[in-house]
Each structure stands twice: as structure tokens, then as C-alpha cells.
Amino acid sequence: AEYMGVGPPNKAMAQALCFCVLLLVSGALGNTADEDFDESVVPEKADAPSTFVLEHFVNGEWAKRGEIVLATTAAGKPTITQKLGDDVQKALKDASINHELYKIRAYPAGHPERAVQTYVPACNYLAASDLHDSIILHLDTSGHLVALEASTALECKASTTPKDKERTPRTYVAVQMPKAGPKPYLDEHRAEVERRRQDVDNGGPREEKSFLQKYWMYLVPVLIFMLMSPGAAPEGQGQAAAAAPARQ
């Protein structure tokens, strides 16, 4: 029987050598790729709305409840102006007795087609909380409204009935935006690449390439050939194979 193939120790050594050389080649190619680095263009942020119209569904139609104006500074808070007349409170009383929902919606001023809406039980808003509620505007990273959230501090019980009394609406308004994740720090890398380009443009010496950067395309085929070609049979196994016919 004739032995074909590379012995385990020789094959392992060849694979380890090939792996090390490929790592060096990839590192060399990575250094040359830095010269072609170009900063991607970031689109400008669109103008975000600062005023939102707040409407509620009463008497079978949408009617204006008020307006929410966002703060112009990060430390400021949004403000709301609203008015709920006697006719609205009467409609809320009827909705509370019938266990209906109180629907509200908000949209940027002048763009009702972008409205988002939510709801709370009418009894919770009128009878339990006396027209006190919380509204949260959810904005995306560009400052556009994507969701609306409303809640009341108290809830109606089974025995709760709305009473006829004067109520003044009071609303807490908040704004929530998604937090931006960590960004890669590439300023130093960009500065270094730009400095190299300026040195070359000003007649400075070009960076000398290493041996692997110059001749990697010739080394890779040789390494592949070394892995795929069969090696010579070990001496001990060759003598044993030759002696086997003599014994027979």
C-alpha cells in the first residue's frame, strides 16, 4: 500500500504557517485601505415642528382642545393652552355614564394628516380625576411626532358617578425622544489620513510599503498550493509497505 498525503505534524505546521502569513497580509492590506478612506455624507436634520394641535372627540366629531408648544431650550418644558367649555364637560359626563372612551389626538400645526391618537376612559378623566391628566409626546430623532400617550392618576370605581361641579382642566405635558447610541470615534483616524494626504500632495515622501504589501498576491497562491499538494510518505511507513510483499 502506498501512503499518500501529508503527515499530521507537517500538515499542522503548514496550516499554522499559512494562517500567520494570511493574518500579516490582511493587516498589510488594511493599512493600505486606510489611504482610500472617505467620510460619508450625513444628511442635514429636517426642521422639526414646535407647535402641536390637541383635539378631542366630543359630540360625534373632532374639536380643538388646545395647543402644545415645545420649549426652545433643552432646560425648558413644553407648555399647553386648553379650554373645556360647559358643553364639552356635559358630553364627557354622558360618556362617563355610558362607560365610553375619551379620545384625543395631536398633530403638527397645519398637518392634520399626521395625527396620532390615544384614549382614556371618560369616567377616569372627568369623574375620578376632575379633568386632570398627563400627556406624553413621543418624537423620533428628527423631532417628528410618532406616538401619543395619555393617562390619569385615578380610576373610576363601579359606584363612581360624575357630579355636577365646576372643574378646571390641568394637564401635565412631557416629551420623550429616543436616546442615541454610542458612535464610533473616528476623528483622530480622519485627521491622520488627511495629514498623510497633505504630506504627499506637498511633495513629501510616500510611505514605504512592506514586503507583504508589495508581494502578497504572489505569496497566497504558493501557500494554497502547499496546503493542497500531498507530501512524501514517512520513511518508516515506506519501509513497512515495501517489506509487506516480501513476507507474503
3-state secondary structure the chain: CCCCCCCHHHHHHHHHHHHHHHHHHHHHHHHHHHHHCCCCCCCCCCCCCCEEEEEEEECCEEEEEEEEECCCCCCCCCEEEECCCHHHHHHHHHHHHCCCEEEEEEEECCCHHHCEEEEEEHHHHHHHCCCEEEEEEEECCCCCEEEEEEECCCCCCCCCCCCCCCCCCEEEEEEECCCCCCCCCCHHHHHHHHHHHHHHHCCCCCCCCCHHHHHHHHHHHHHHHHHHCCCCCCHHHHHHHHHHHHHC
| Predicted confidence pLDDT, tens digits, the chain (248 residues) | 444 444 455 566 666 666 666 666 555 555 444 444 333 333 345 567 889 999 999 999 999 999 999 987 777 889 999 989 899 999 999 999 999 999 999 999 999 999 999 999 999 999 899 999 999 999 998 889 999 999 998 999 877 888 888 889 999 999 998 887 777 767 777 788 888 788 777 776 666 677 777 777 777 787 787 777 765 555 555 554 445 454 44
What's the predicted TM-score (pTM) here?
0.56
